Amino acid sequence: MVVLKREDYISIEKNPNGVCTIWMDQKDEKINKIGPDLIGLFESVFEELNADDSIKAFVLSSKKKDFIAGADIDAFAKVEKPGDWKPIARKGHEILNQIEKSKKPIVAAIHGNALGAGLEIAMACHARVLSNDKSTKVALPEVKLGLLPGGGGTQRLPRLVGLQAALDMMLTGKNVFAYPALKMGLADKVVHVSALQKVAQKFALELVDNPIKRERNELDIKAGFPSIQKSLTNIVLEAPLVNKIVFDQAKKMVDKQAHGNYPAPYKIMECVEIGWNQGIEKGYEAEVDRFEELILSPVSRQLINIFFAMTDKKKNPYGEDKVKQVDRLGMIGAGFMGAGIAEVSMNDGMHVLLKDINQDMISSAYKTIYDGYNKRVSKKAMSKIELEEKMALLSGSLNYEDLDNQEIIIEAVFEDLKLKQAILKDVEANAKPNTIFATNTSALPIKHIAANAKHPELVIGMHYFSPVPKMPLLEIVKTDKTADWVIATCYDVGVRQGKTVIVVHDGPGFYTTRILAPLMNEAQLLLDEGGDIQQIDREMNLFGFPVGPITLADEVGIDVGAHIMSGELMQELLSTRPKFKVSKTLLEISKAGYKGRKNKKGFYKYDEKGKKVSGQVDADIYSFYGGNTRKKFDANDIHMRCAMAMVNEAALCLQENIIESPLDGDIGAVFGLGFPPFRGGPFRYIDSVGAQKVVDILNDLTARFGERFEPAQILLDYAKSGKKFSDK
C-alpha cells in the first residue's frame, strides 16, 4: 500500500461548537476520487480524531465542486488475477463499518456529485444533508461499468430506501437529485448550498443526544418499478412474499434488457438477496466475492475501456488554441433534428436562431424544446427561472438576412443534395465572413454539398443521432479542404453539447451510416429469403443490439432507409463494390407508402397514437417478401450475417482511412449505433474473437451466402501477423 500524505487529500477543521469538519480536497485533481489507499487514510484520521475529547461530532464534506465523483477506476485496471481485489475490498468494508459504528455522529454534507464509492461513504455516515443545487446528484452507477457497488452499497442502500427503490437505482445506475433523494430516505435534509455546512454541523450536534434509529425498510412499495407498484398497491401481503415478488420482477426486467449478456445486474441482485435474507455480514462477503469476479470479467474490461475512451475524447485533439469561441449558432431546418441540436446547444448557453421556411415548424420546435426543459423542472433538475433563461436564448426567423452574426450555422433540412447546396449558397451570401457551415446530412458526401462553395474550408459535416438530446455521439466529417480551426471549433461545440465526438474523413455514409447500411441490408436479405421479422429482431437483441434492425427501420423511417439504400451512398459504394448485393424491397415498400412508426405503417403494427401493438407484425408487409409462410433461420446465422456485415465494413473503413483509429471505430459503433457495449465495438470484438477466426467466419459466409462477405484486406493482414487492433 502506498503511504499517502494526509494533507494532499484531507484537511481538518475543528470548529468552536465541537464539530470537526473533515474536508476532502484531493490536491492536483479537479475531483475527489476514492482509491484503496485513500480509504486507508480515513482509518487513521478517524482513529486519531475519535480520541480527541474536544470533538463531539463530525461533518464530512468536500472543497471541490463534487463531494466524491466515484472510485478511482485506474485502480480497477490493476486487478489482474483472483485474490488481487478481495483484501482491498475487505479493508474498505472494515473502514466504512468503523465510520458507521463511530460513537461520535458523522454527517455527510453533500454538494455536487456523490457517486459510487462517494455515495457508499455517505451512506456509512449517520446522516446526509444535501444541497438543493442541480449539480447535486447521488447514484450507484457501477453497473454501467459492468461492476457492482462494492463498498457496502448493495447492503446499506436497500436498508435505507427499501428493496425496490434500491434495486431500481443499482440496476439502472441512474442519478437521483436532492429532493427525490429526500423523499426516498437517502437524504435526511435538503438545504441551499449557502446553509449546507451550518445545517450539517447543527444536525451532527443534535445526533449526539438523539441518534436516528433506522429501521430496515421492509415494505416500501411507493418508489421503484411502476409495474410492481401497480400489482402490489392494493394487496396486503407478508413482507417475505412481497420481497420475493420484488426480486422476481427485478430479474424479469434485467432478463428483458440484458439478455444474459451482462453479469453485473444479476450479481447485484444476488448480493442484495443474500444480505437481505441471510444478514448483512453475509451480504458483505457476497459483495467481495462477486465484485472480484466481475472486475476480472471480459465484459467489465470492455465497458471500462469504453469509459476511458470516452473520458479521453473530452480533450480536443485539434488543439484548444485553434478553437474559435461560439456564442451564436444558426440552425437551418427546425424539424426533428434541428430542434434537438438547438436544445443541446442552449444547454451550454449558446444563442440559437432557428431558421425554417415554415413558421409552424419553428413554433413546434419551440414547444418541443420548452417541453423538454419543463420535464427537468418537474424533476427539480432545473428551476423555472433557469427554464425561462434558457428559452430566452432561442429565437426564430424565416429570413436568411437574420443569419448574419453567428459563428456557426448548422443545416438539418431534408436529405436532398440540391437543396443542401442551395442552402449553402444562401448562407454564403448572408453570413458574416468565416462563419462555419456544418451539415447534419446522414449520408451525403460533404464534398458534394461543398462542390460549389466559395469557401470549402468552412464546410464540414456534423452528424448527430436521433433523438439528439439523448444520443451521446457526434460524428464530425472533414473533407480534404476543411480548415483545422473549423474542425477544432466544431469539436469544441460538440463537447459543449455533451457529446462524445469522433472525427472521420468524408466518404459516402462517412463511418456510422456506412457500417449500418450493410447490417440493415442483410436483415432485408434475410426477409427476402423468407425470414421472420420478430425472429431477426429478437436474435439481434440477444446478440446485444438494443434495437433490432427491423424495428430500427421502423423507427428511423422506412422512407429514410430506402432513400439511403437507393441514393448516393449506395451508388457510390456499389461502384467500387460490384459484388455487393442490395435488397430492393425496402424501396418497394417505401413506394407503397410504408414509412414506419411516423405514419403508423411499418413492419410492426401501431395504434392510433403511434405506440407498438405489443410487438405484433403487420402481416400485409410479408406480401413484399414472398408471402405469409415464414421460416426460422439458424440463430447463429442471423447473428453472424448481420454483425459480420457491419464488422467487415468497419474494417474496410479503417483500411480506407475513413476512420483514423480502431478506437474511433469502436466509439462510433457503440455510441452511435448501439453496437453491443459488452463486446467493446467492432475492433475490440475482432480482437476478442481473433482476427483469424473472423476471417474464417467471413470466408464461410462468403461460401454460403455470397461474395459480399469477402474479408477486408486489413483483416487478412491482422490475421496473418497476429496483431490486435487494440495494440498501441
- Contact with ligand NAD (CB under 6 A): which of 185, 335, 530, 626? 335
Q: What is the largest CA-CA distance in the chain?
A: 85
Tell me if 358 contacts ligand NAD by CB under 6 A: yes
The answer to whether residue 508 forms part of the interface with ligand NAD (CB under 6 A) is: no
Residue 337 lies near ligand NAD (rule: CB under 6 A): yes
DSSP per residue, 480-509 = TT--HHHHHHHHHHHHHTT-EEEEEE-STT
Phi, psi of 584 (to 5 degrees): -95, -5
Q: Pattern 421-460, binding to ligand NAD, x per CB under 6 A?
A: --x----------------xxx------------------
338 binds ligand NAD (CB under 6 A): yes
Judged by DSSP in three states, 725 sits in: coil
Which lies closer to ligand NAD via its Cβ, residue 199 or residue 556? 556
Question: Of all helices (H) and strands (E), which one includes residue 38?
Answer: helix 36-50
643-to-100, 517, 522, 655 alpha-carbon distances in Å: 50, 11, 9, 18
For residue 182, the surrounding DSSP H or E stretch is helix 178-184
- 176-235: contacts with ligand NAD (CB under 6 A): none
Is residue 306 within the footprint of ligand NAD (CB under 6 A)? no
Q: How far is the CB of 356 from ligand NAD (least distance, A)?
A: 4
- Let me know if 470 is exposed, middle or buried by CB neighbors in 10 A (0-12, 13-18, 19+): exposed
Task: Out of 475, 522, 539, 649, pick the active-site residue.
Answer: 475
**Which of the stretches 24-32, 307-315, 330-338, 599-607 binds ligand NAD when contact is defined by CB under 6 A?**
330-338
Residue 604 vs residues 537, 595, 612, 621: alpha-carbon distances, Å: 11, 11, 7, 9
Using CB under 6 A as the binding rule, whether residue 415 contacts ligand NAD is answered as: yes
- State the minimum distance, in angstroms, from the CB of residue 151 to ligand NAD: 41
Secondary structure of residue 57 in the 3-state scheme? strand
Nearer to ligand NAD by C-beta: 382 or 423?
423
**Strands of 137-139's sheet, edge to edge?**
113-115, 137-139, 176-177
Find the shortest distance in angstroms from Cβ 446 to ligand NAD. Answer: 12
- Judged by beta carbon, residue 110 or residue 413, the one nearer ligand NAD is 413
Task: State which of residues 71, 124, 199, 332 lies at the interface with ligand NAD (CB under 6 A).
Answer: 332
Distances (CA, A) of 416 to 412, 439, 552: 10, 12, 22
Q: Are 104 and 50 in contact (CB under 8 A)?
A: yes
Question: How far is it, in rounded angstroms, from Cα 23 to Cα 63?
Answer: 6
- The interface region with ligand NAD, picked from 190-198, 334-342, 535-543, 663-671 by CB under 6 A, is 334-342
Shortest Cβ 612–ligand NAD spacing (Å): 18
Q: Which stretch binds ligand NAD (CB under 6 A): 158-166, 288-296, 413-421, 704-712?
A: 413-421
Q: Exactly one of 68, 264, 274, 412 binds ligand NAD (CB under 6 A); which one?
A: 412
**Of 316 and 512, which CB lies nearer to ligand NAD in the complex structure?**
512
> Residue 420 CB, nearest distance to ligand NAD (Å)?
7
Of 22-30, 287-295, 354-362, 626-634, which segment contacts ligand NAD by CB under 6 A?
A: 354-362
DSSP string covering 675-723: --GGGTSHHHHHHHH-HHHHHHHHHHHHHHH-GGGPPPHHHHHHHHHT-
Least Å from the CB of residue 409 to ligand NAD: 11
- Return the H-helix or E-strand segment holding 332: strand 328-332
Binds ligand NAD (CB under 6 A): choice among 357, 429, 451, 592: 357
| Contact residue for ligand NAD among 105, 173, 330, 333 (CB under 6 A) | 333
353 is a contact residue toward ligand NAD (CB under 6 A): no
Residues 126-145 that bind ligand NAD (CB under 6 A): none
Is residue 336 involved in binding ligand NAD (CB under 6 A)?
Answer: yes
Phi, psi torsion values for 517, nearest 5 degrees: -55, -50
Q: Residues 108, 361, 427, 663: which binds ligand NAD (CB under 6 A)? A: 361
Instruction: State the minimum distance, in angstroms, from the CB of residue 475 to ligand NAD.
Output: 9
Asked if residue 466 binds ligand NAD (CB under 6 A), the reply is yes
Nearer to ligand NAD, 185 or 469 (CB): 469
Residues in the chain, total: 728
Nearer to ligand NAD by C-beta: 108 or 427? 427
Q: How far is CA 705 from CA 106, 622, 699, 710, in A?
A: 67, 22, 10, 10
Exposed/middle/buried for 172, CB within 10 Å: 0-12, 13-18, 19+?
A: middle
- Which residues partner with 115 through β-bridges? 139
CB of 191 to ligand NAD, least distance (A): 43
Residue whose entry in the numeric block shows the C-alpha cell 440463430: 635
Nearest residue to ligand NAD, using CB?
Answer: 335
- Per CB under 6 A, the list member of 125, 556, 562, 569 interacting with ligand NAD is 556
DSSP 661: -
Pairing of strands 19-24, 57-62: parallel
How many residues sit in the footprint of ligand NAD (CB under 6 A)? 24
Interface region with ligand NAD, contact rule CB under 6 A, candidates 272-280, 401-409, 410-418, 673-681: 410-418
DSSP 3-state helix, strand, coil percentages of the chain (rounded to 5)? 55, 15, 35
> Are the beta carbons of 439 and 330 closer than 8 angstroms?
no
Q: Which is nearer to ligand NAD, 412 or 652 (CB)?
A: 412
Work out whether 568 is an interface residue with ligand NAD (CB under 6 A): no
Q: How far is the CB of 462 from ligand NAD (least distance, A)?
A: 10
| 79 contacts 85 by C-beta, under 8 angstroms | yes
Judged by CB under 6 A, the stretch of 3-11, 164-172, 285-293, 356-364 that binds ligand NAD is 356-364
Give the closest residue to 459 by CA, choosing from 419, 495, 428.
428
Binding span for ligand NAD by CB under 6 A among 229-237, 351-359, 527-535, 700-708? 351-359
Cell, residue 251: 430479474
Tell me if residue 465 falls in helix, strand or coil. coil
How far is residue 519's CA from residue 669's CA, in Å, rounded to a whole number?
Answer: 12
Distance, CA of 671 to CA of 309 (rounded, Å): 11
CA distance 680 to 303: 7
- Cα separation, 639 vs 294, in Å, equals 26
Q: Report the nearest approach of ligand NAD to the CB of residue 559 (Å).
A: 10
Q: Which is nearer to ligand NAD, 104 or 420 (CB)?
A: 420
Least gap, CB of 574 to ligand NAD (angstroms): 20
- Strands ordered across the beta sheet of 10-14: 10-14, 19-24, 57-62, 106-110, 127-131, 189-191
Give whichever of 302 and 513 is closer to ligand NAD, judged by the CB atom: 513
Among 19, 157, 286, 334, binds ligand NAD (CB under 6 A): 334
* Whether 475 is catalytic: yes
**287, 356, 649, 664: which one contacts ligand NAD (CB under 6 A)?**
356
CB of 586 to ligand NAD, least distance (A): 16
- Report the alpha-carbon distance of residue 235 to residue 559 in Å, rounded: 48
Of the pair 284, 336, the CB lying nearest ligand NAD is at 336
Nearest-angstrom CA–CA distance, 464 and 133: 30
> Which sequence positions are flagged as catalytic?
475
Name the residues that contact ligand NAD, by CB under 6 A.
Answer: 332-338, 355-358, 361, 412-415, 423, 440-442, 464-466, 556
